[in-house]
Structure 1
Amino acid sequence: MPIVQLDEHLIDQIAAGEVVERPASVVKELLENAIDAGASRIEIATAGGGKTLLRVSDDGCGIPETELRLAVRRHCTSKLAGGLEQIASLGFRGEALPSIGSVARLSLRSRTAGASSAFEILLDHGHCEGPRPTALSRGTVVEVRDLFQKVPARLKFLKSDRAEATAITDVVRRLALAEPEIRFEITGPDRSPTVFEAARDMGERIAQVLGEGFGENAVTIDAEREAVRLTGLAGLPTFSRGNSLQQFLFVNGRPVRDKMLVSALRGGYADVMAKDRHPVAVLFLTLDPALVDVNVHPAKADVRFRDPGLIRGLLVGALRQAFAESGLRSSSEGAAGVLARMRAGAGSVTPAPRRFDGFAPGGYAAAAGPGPGPGPGSVPGRGFAAPHQAPYDPGASPFRPLAPDAALLDRPSPAPQPLQSVEPGEAAEAPGGEFPLGAARAQLHGNYIVAETETGLVIVDQHAAHERLVYETLKTAIHGRRLPSQMLLIPEIVDLTEDDAERLCEHAGELAQLGLAVERFGPAAVAVRETPALLGQVDVPRLVRDLADELAEFGTRDSVRSRIDHVAATVACHGSVRSGRILKLDEMNALLRQMEKTPSASQCNHGRPTFIELGLADIEKLFGRR
């Protein structure tokens, strides 16, 4: 078949396959044009999930009559005055409007400031008409109808109207976060109006988009390294979601879905979040446009950084430092869940089975089968009989002191006194501002410590809390020095590509600090002579290949470190205070004080919260005192 020149319409349809994936892609491109035009109010109207109608109206600078035809031609743009090295606008490729017009019916009406009238141009599946006069007060209105009607292969792959409308809303939310000073409004017959009013600052816009609860459960991020600045809010590790839809990442004001940034975000939450949970975050990266390439894909959602290691290190380091400096903070979702269960009624909650040894041999014994019904001496509804109870013998009680004093056992009980708090020492003094977790008052079910604070009470999971304390101690001891290694009797030769072998050898010194000794063995292989002793028997080829892939993609050495941390986490889990262990009051208070001094003590190694805080106001509401 001879080589031929494709016609313009077919070229536009091919380009549309990259730019216009679904109705949400059209909305994204049109919103970016409106923002670049300096709009302060943008309205989006949809019908049929955007497949039937999409209308984007703005009050921006508008397009002159003489430039309307150029606006719907490929590779015509006004946004590349500084070249690809200095891209300061959201759009710049000049492909959006002609691509949309090649797969739909597009009308473009616009009026510039000071113009006597507005003008309109029509683009019907690549056929252009106009410009001609029309009615419009100011700005630009772009209307897209019957998207993909003449491209059935694309139309049948679209999702339901509701799913497409949800995708459009997500696009608007992301751009609304990037531009807090602009008012956005989404309307349509299949949805109630959604409005994001112009905000005074970024905090107010984040509250509009993600709700007030996010700000209460997030830490502020503000870090800078080598002229690259990271700002925003990152949710607490215990304030997580089951998917990554609540992660909003921006580079120079541009919403992106870059896999390196997502990986760095996960790295910042390593050790403090469960593997199947996803953080909630709104983060803004600001850097010189020359240090980032946004011309990677026509959709402009992917970016490439000149120094990805710097960006990843800044993001991970800023998150970990923010969590360490935030102190002990518990997600309000935990307290809200507790209160909701209490309001729902305790009778609907089935307690977990617990071992109960009885007060003395011959205590309550469960019947072998269903009982014949209540009888004399039986307990109604239990199915077992209550035997004759002997007089209480403090010497036989399983709750007696470990070394009871006979004189104390024979001493008669004192007269009843008013209830008072136990005060064995400084650790059990009245709660003050210096003790965020307050003073321990009781232990419930052998696992939960109840502490009193100035503003309410705290319930601590003793096993989860101690597990985090032991884990942090182990990590400090492990990574504070060169890790011990075990020498292999026969060096393991691992075949790699030449580039992977080169990257591994470049980081040989840093890997040796982690106990992994590698050296070059020919042009495309490495020899492993030592492995970290903590890992025991390890699949060396798999470890090295995983490490090589990670160095190639992210430039990090986290594979070895994460495996070592996993061993430390396992040791911490098995070596911490077990559930069911009875603690003395001093031990409980000592655990609380150590939690207050330990970073990331708000959650255990598996991402579960270590404590839940209930405010006094919420407790009073449960009892009708407010």
Structure 2
Amino acid sequence: MPIRVLPSEVAARIAAGEVVERPASVVKELVENALDAGATRIGVQIEQGGIALIRVTDDGCGIPVEELPLALERHATSKLEPDGDLFAIATLGFRGEALPSIAAAADVEIVTRVAGAAAGAALRTRDGRAEPLRPAAAPVGTTVTVRRLFARQPARRKFLRTPAGEAAQVAQVVSHYALAYPEVAFTLSVDGRRALVSPGSGDPREAAAAVYGARTAAALLDVHAEAAGIVVRGLVAPPHFARASRAHISLFVNRRWVQHRRLAYAVESAYETLLQSGRHPLAVIDLSLNPAEVDVNVHPAKAEVRFRAEGEVFRVVQQAVRRTLVEASPVPTAWPGVPVSPEPGIWRLPEPETLPRPVAPPPRQAGATRLVLPALRVVGQVAATYVVAEGPAGMYLIDQHAAHERVLYERIRARRGHGTPEVQPLLEPLVLEPTRVQAAALEAYRAELAGLGFALEPFGERAVLIRAVPAELAGRDAARAVAEYLDAVSAGSPPPDRAERAVMTLACHAAIRAGKTLTLEEMRELVRLLEACESPQSCPHGRPTMVHVSAAALEREFGRR
């Protein structure tokens, strides 16, 4: 087949496919244009998931009439000087590809007016061809209407989701920019129904309330940190507001919504030992840094970025979020009007997803850098599993296994960090017969186990002798603890997590079990040790160590108020 130059219309459709993947892509490009134009109000309207109609209206600066035809020319933009620095971009758009790409994939109408102009102007395209410019009555700003998306590319339409699925993608785009620009009032209408309204007050928490609801927004914790020329601002949810997917981690770089796996991992790693397995945080994080330190010209969709000092950015974000969680994350509280079950004395606590706003965290002592629990008076034990304690704000139910696991985890981790594990030699060594996979993992991670206090040596063809164990495991099933750790690392734990995984496994196996009756003195000692922990509100696996039942809730249930 001979080499030939593609017709311009075909080339335009190919190029459009890199920018316009689905209706949400169109909305993203048009919303970014509106924000770059200085809009304070942006309205988005879609029909049939955006396939039939997308309309974005803003009150920005508008487009001068004489420049309107240029807006549909490829690589025509007002945001970058001909000799502009592509490595110091301060606007959301800059490539000059959005409008021509949309016009190549759909029919487009642009109505716009600049301040001081007697009238506005309208420009329409049909089947990829622009019609003559015409005058139009319009307020200051721009309205872009997109119809019949991918009508000329039926193959692309086949890969779209249902209208409801596409509408959800559009809602995600609008929600993210409502979070990034709380000073801009956003509205989203889906098939004539108002789906999202943000107030545009400038308060990030009010924007979060529009997206996630007032109860969740009220519980969010403020994040603010500055280091190495990087400013981190945002809101993060306490661990018990965790979600089932990573979709609720919103990341912005200089207010640009980005998808960055390493940044998302920085946020998730900050929740380490605070979230249960399979749960993910809700977070809104905005990084501000010199535009020259970040490359946004990675992909036509502008959703990916590269950092000049990625490791430093990771560190600043991770430490900022972790510090907030350690200092301010509250103890989960039962619903103020939690009902009593048919069995007397047993409370039905709601699932974590439906918990109300938790009580404010206990006041921090002067100079404290961690959450400080209130003074607790141990009352007794329930079901040989939960320690009952009284505090100034009501009753606390403490899971004895989770609490002891947290105490041991922090103690073992500290000793490991100083290289001084406490070792208990065994009079009679234990024998471990690892599987083939476990044996391979043992060779790779023998140093991690030795650093915790395990003394291992080969015995026969495949067996291993355990001659010493960490002091915390004395009298426990140390062989099982080693086997479970080897299974975990064999399953593919990321390298930074392997040492933590070993500490968590050791703490879990050494902790007091549910069902063990404790003396009053043992319970008091457990509470005292928990109070001294850096993160006393959860075990290393993310389960809560305690639940708070307020005095007001008790009074309501007994009819005292």
Which of 313, 317, 320 is residue 319 of structure 2 equivalent to? 317
Cα distance change on mapping 1:441 and 1:186 into 2, 3 Å: same
User: CA offset at residue 63 of structure 1?
Assistant: 0.4
Which of 456, 460, 464 is residue 402 of structure 2 equivalent to? 464
Cα distance change on mapping 1:443 and 1:15 into 2, 3 Å: same
Which of 91, 98, 101 is residue 99 of structure 1 equivalent to? 101
Cα distance change on mapping 1:3 and 1:187 into 2, 3 Å: same
Aligned to 2:12: 12
User: CA offset at residue 600 of structure 1?
Assistant: 1.8
User: CA offset at residue 482 of structure 1?
Assistant: 8.0
Q: Kindly report which structure 2 residues correspond to 1:460-499, keeping only aligned pairs within 5 A, or say none.
A: 460-481=398-419
Q: Which amino acid aligns with 2:78?
A: S
Cα distance change on mapping 1:69 and 1:208 into 2, 3 Å: same
CA shift digits 1:423-478 (9 cap, x unpaired):
xxxxxxxxxx9851521212110011121122221111111111111011000000
Aligned to 2:393: 455
Which of 164, 172, 187 is residue 166 of structure 2 equivalent to? 164
1:323, 1:599 within 8 Å by CA — same for their partners in 2? no
Q: Which amino acid aligns with 1:474?
A: I
Name whichever of 248-257 and 201-210 sits farther off: 201-210
Aligned to 2:246: 244
1:152 aligns with 2:177: no
Aligned to 1:71: 71
Aligned to 1:619: 554
Q: Which amino acid aligns with 2:148?
A: D
2:184, 2:202 within 8 Å by CA — same for their partners in 1? no
User: CA offset at residue 298 of structure 1?
Assistant: 1.1
CA shift digits 1:195-217 (9 cap, x unpaired):
11112422332233222333454
TM-score, scaled relative to structure 2: 0.80
CA shift digits 1:127-159 (9 cap, x unpaired):
111211112122101001111112111111111
Distance 2:90 2:512 in 1: 56
Aligned to 2:537: 602
Distance 1:466 1:179 in 2: 44
Cα distance change on mapping 1:339 and 1:463 into 2, 3 Å: farther
SS in 2 for 1:121: strand
User: CA offset at residue 225 of structure 1?
Assistant: 1.7
SS in 2 for 1:130: coil
Distance 1:451 1:118 in 2: 70
Distance 2:307 2:57 in 1: 34
Aligned to 1:182: 184
Q: Which amino acid aligns with 1:463?
A: H
User: CA offset at residue 570 of structure 1?
Assistant: 1.4
Distance 1:21 1:35 in 2: 21
User: CA offset at residue 238 of structure 1?
Assistant: 2.6
User: CA offset at residue 320 of structure 1?
Assistant: 2.4
Aligned residues between the structures: 486
Q: Which amino acid aligns with 2:400?
A: Q
Identity %: 40
SS in 1 for 2:34: helix
2:121, 2:136 within 8 Å by CA — same for their partners in 1? yes
User: CA offset at residue 270 of structure 1?
Assistant: 2.1
Q: CA RMSD in A?
A: 3.1
1:514, 1:561 within 8 Å by CA — same for their partners in 2? no
CA shift digits 1:532-552 (9 cap, x unpaired):
x99979999x989x8xxxxxx
Aligned to 1:522: none
2:62, 2:113 within 8 Å by CA — same for their partners in 1? yes
CA shift digits 1:299-322 (9 cap, x unpaired):
111111111110111122222222
User: CA offset at residue 274 of structure 1?
Assistant: 2.2
Aligned to 1:305: 307
Q: Kindly report which structure 2 residues correspond to 1:98-117, keeping only aligned pairs within 5 A, or say none.
A: 98-117=100-119
Cα distance change on mapping 1:350 and 1:321 into 2, 3 Å: closer
Q: Kindly report which structure 2 residues correspond to 1:364-443, keeping only aligned pairs within 5 A, or say none.
A: 436=374, 438-443=376-381
2:485, 2:505 within 8 Å by CA — same for their partners in 1? no
Distance 2:531 2:13 in 1: 61
2:22, 2:160 within 8 Å by CA — same for their partners in 1? yes
1:141 aligns with 2:143: yes
Q: Kindly report which structure 2 residues correspond to 1:217-236, keeping only aligned pairs within 5 A, or say none.
A: 217-236=219-238
Aligned to 1:87: 89
Aligned to 1:254: 256
Distance 2:187 2:495 in 1: 49
Name whichever of 123-132 and 297-306 sits farther off: 123-132
User: CA offset at residue 162 of structure 1?
Assistant: 1.3
Q: Which amino acid aligns with 1:150?
A: R
2:42, 2:185 within 8 Å by CA — same for their partners in 1? yes
Aligned to 2:362: none
Aligned to 2:474: none
Distance 1:172 1:61 in 2: 20
Cα distance change on mapping 1:86 and 1:279 into 2, 3 Å: same
Cα distance change on mapping 1:444 and 1:536 into 2, 3 Å: closer
1:567 aligns with 2:502: yes
Aligned to 1:197: 199
Q: Kindly report which structure 2 residues correspond to 1:32-71, keeping only aligned pairs within 5 A, or say none.
A: 32-71=32-71
Q: Which amino acid aligns with 1:471?
A: Y
Aligned to 1:576: 511
1:241, 1:277 within 8 Å by CA — same for their partners in 2? yes
User: CA offset at residue 618 of structure 1?
Assistant: 2.7
Distance 1:611 1:438 in 2: 12
Runs of 5+ consecutive residues of structure 1 not aligned to the other structure:
352-432, 485-509, 516-532, 547-557
SS in 1 for 2:124: strand
Larger radius of gyration: 1
User: CA offset at residue 126 of structure 1?
Assistant: 1.4
Aligned to 1:329: 330
1:47, 1:189 within 8 Å by CA — same for their partners in 2? yes
User: CA offset at residue 620 of structure 1?
Assistant: 2.9
Cα distance change on mapping 1:483 and 1:303 into 2, 3 Å: farther
1:589 aligns with 2:524: yes
Aligned to 1:502: none
Cα distance change on mapping 1:164 and 1:437 into 2, 3 Å: farther
Distance 2:201 2:326 in 1: 30
Cα distance change on mapping 1:597 and 1:207 into 2, 3 Å: farther
Distance 1:35 1:125 in 2: 28
Aligned to 2:456: none
SS in 1 for 2:108: strand
Q: Which amino acid aligns with 2:5?
A: Q
1:239, 1:331 within 8 Å by CA — same for their partners in 2? no
Aligned to 1:294: 296
Distance 2:201 2:383 in 1: 49
Aligned to 1:211: 213
Aligned to 1:445: 383
